[in-house]
């Protein structure tokens, strides 16, 4: 390594780093249809179908805290977050590999709980565990999951397919996973200060479940097929809505406008946010880990989506020059920032 230059990782962030590290790579195989830059890579399978590939790390101390994360839930979540990426391509996941690096402080029984959760997710989502690597680590638990899926060629939805005026749609509600984390962190602090006090998690079931045991929107992919709607672009909401909107805008070379009052939030989430002195819009925009789907549809599909209880139309794409804005309840346009969760920045 050259001694003259040292660029700290926190100054460039995850996406800047990925761009810097992968820019020199050129495609060599005809079978590679799409590589880095979407929820999953796309590989040619046969004349009509593709294979989708996505991979994610879950690192102890960065992505989870074992003080309040049951290992079974962690196993479940580690599968689900990867399946979510396959659904976000409008595909059907079929296989996963799971690799774990684990320190000797974990007994076999702890890892059996982890795999119990992995198996539950595989059973519910109809997935085969086909491989992995199992090794020791010097500190903590590291989980690496790769999901493989399939889709018809004409069904694949990229981040890049949106057009100006396409409607932006998000599934379910947002911000709950983030507020679940805040509740868990508060109780951890209370416990650390006084181990005799029992954690007060009553009434937070929905928030905690969204944080600890999220689901991937397999159902939405089916709803869209049933409605005969093919999204023009799609991404899953893992890092926060704002960050995902920026990914779609970048992919499709567009701007976007969303409406504060259209953003779906559970009442308990907004109440808890206010209790915690957090703006509910911040939970939605920057919270992350909801694993809902954000997609766009052409205006002519409006009637098919309108009033669907699983989907909220939150705005539309604009020209790139128009920028990325949220219109607040007073009608003021607020410029959005993509300050989603970034492990290098600790944001």
Interface with a copy of itself in residues 126-165 (CB under 8 A): 126-140, 142, 144, 146, 148, 150
Instruction: Give CA angle at 280 (316, 82), nearest 5°.
Output: 70
Residue whose token pair is 């396959």: 86
Q: Which stretch binds a copy of itself (CB under 8 A): 12-20, 227-235, 265-273, 328-336?
A: 12-20
Structure tokens that stand for 230 in this block? 């093919």
Separation CA 258–CA 165 (nearest Å): 12
> What part of residues 83-102 is at the interface with a copy of itself (CB under 8 A)?
94-95, 97, 99, 101-102
Residue from 206, 259, 343, 347 that binds a copy of itself (CB under 8 A)?
Answer: 343
Residue whose token pair is 């005969």: 228
Please identify, using beta-carbon distances, which residue of 136 and 319 lies nearer to a copy of itself.
Answer: 136
* Contacting residues for 195 by C-beta, under 8 A, at least 6 apart: none
Q: Please report whether residue 243 would count as binding a copy of itself according to CB under 8 A.
A: no
Residue 172 CB, nearest approach to a copy of itself (Å): 24
Residue from 68, 106, 246, 317 that binds a copy of itself (CB under 8 A)?
Answer: 106
Separation CA 34–CA 125 (nearest Å): 25
Binding mask 19-38 for a copy of itself (x = CB under 8 A): -xxx-xx-xxx-xx-xxx--
Q: Which stretch binds a copy of itself (CB under 8 A): 123-131, 159-167, 190-198, 248-256?
A: 123-131
Residue 70 CB, nearest approach to a copy of itself (Å): 9
Residue 140 CB, nearest approach to a copy of itself (Å): 7
Looking at the DSSP assignment, which residues form a beta bridge with residue 171?
A: 311
* Contacting residues for 315 by C-beta, under 8 A, at least 6 apart: 167, 168, 256, 257, 258, 259, 262
Q: Please report whether residue 119 would count as binding a copy of itself according to CB under 8 A.
A: yes
Q: How does DSSP classify residue 218? A: H
How many residues bind a copy of itself (CB under 8 A)? The answer is: 82
Please identify, using beta-carbon distances, which residue of 139 and 165 lies nearer to a copy of itself.
Answer: 139
Pairing of the two strands 134-136 and 92-102: parallel
Of the CA atoms within 13 Å of residue 219, those in its CB half-sphere come to 9
- Do residues 143 and 291 touch, judged by C-beta distance below 8 A? no
> What part of residues 54-73 is at the interface with a copy of itself (CB under 8 A)?
54-57, 59-63, 71
Q: Please report whether residue 222 would count as binding a copy of itself according to CB under 8 A.
A: no
Q: How does DSSP classify residue 177? A: H
């Amino acid at each position: 390594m050259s001694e003259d230059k040292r660029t700290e990782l926190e100054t460039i962030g995850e996406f800047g780093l990925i761009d810097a590290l992968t820019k020199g790579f050129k495609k060599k195989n005809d079978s590679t249809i799409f590589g880095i830059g979407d929820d999953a890579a796309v590989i040619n399978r046969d004349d009509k179908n593709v294979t989708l590939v996505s991979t994610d790390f879950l690192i102890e101390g960065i992505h989870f805290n074992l003080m309040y994360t049951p290992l079974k839930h962690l196993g479940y979540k580690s599968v689900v977050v990867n399946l979510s990426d396959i659904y976000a391509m409008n595909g059907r996941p079929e296989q996963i590999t799971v690799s774990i690096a684990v320190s000797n402080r974990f007994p076999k029984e702890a890892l059996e709980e982890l795999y119990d959760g992995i198996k539950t997710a595989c059973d519910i989502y109809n997935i085969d565990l086909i491989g992995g690597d199992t090794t020791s680590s010097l500190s903590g638990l590291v989980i690496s999951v790769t999901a493989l899926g399939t889709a018809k060629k004409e069904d694949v939805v990229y981040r890049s397919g949106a057009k100006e005026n396409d409607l932006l749609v998000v599934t379910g509600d947002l911000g709950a996973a983030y507020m679940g984390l805040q509740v868990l962190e508060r109780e951890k602090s209370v416990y650390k200060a006084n181990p005799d006090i029992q954690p007060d998690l009553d009434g937070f079931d929905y928030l905690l479940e969204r944080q600890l045991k999220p689901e991937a929107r397999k159902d939405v992919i089916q709803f869209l097929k049933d409605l005969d709607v093919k999204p023009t672009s799609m991404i899953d909401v893992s890092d926060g809505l704002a960050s995902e909107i920026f990914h779609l805008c970048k992919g499709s070379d567009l701007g976007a406008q969303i409406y504060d009052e259209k953003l779906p939030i559970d009442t308990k989430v907004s109440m808890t946010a206010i209790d915690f002195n957090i703006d509910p819009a911040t939970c939605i925009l920057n919270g992350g880990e909801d694993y809902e789907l954000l997609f766009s549809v052409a205006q002519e599909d409006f009637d098919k989506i309108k009033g669907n209880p699983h989907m909220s139309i939150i705005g539309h794409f604009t020209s790139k020059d128009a920028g990325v804005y949220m219109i607040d309840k007073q009608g003021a346009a607020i410029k959005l920032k993509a300050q989603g969760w970034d492990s290098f920045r600790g944001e």
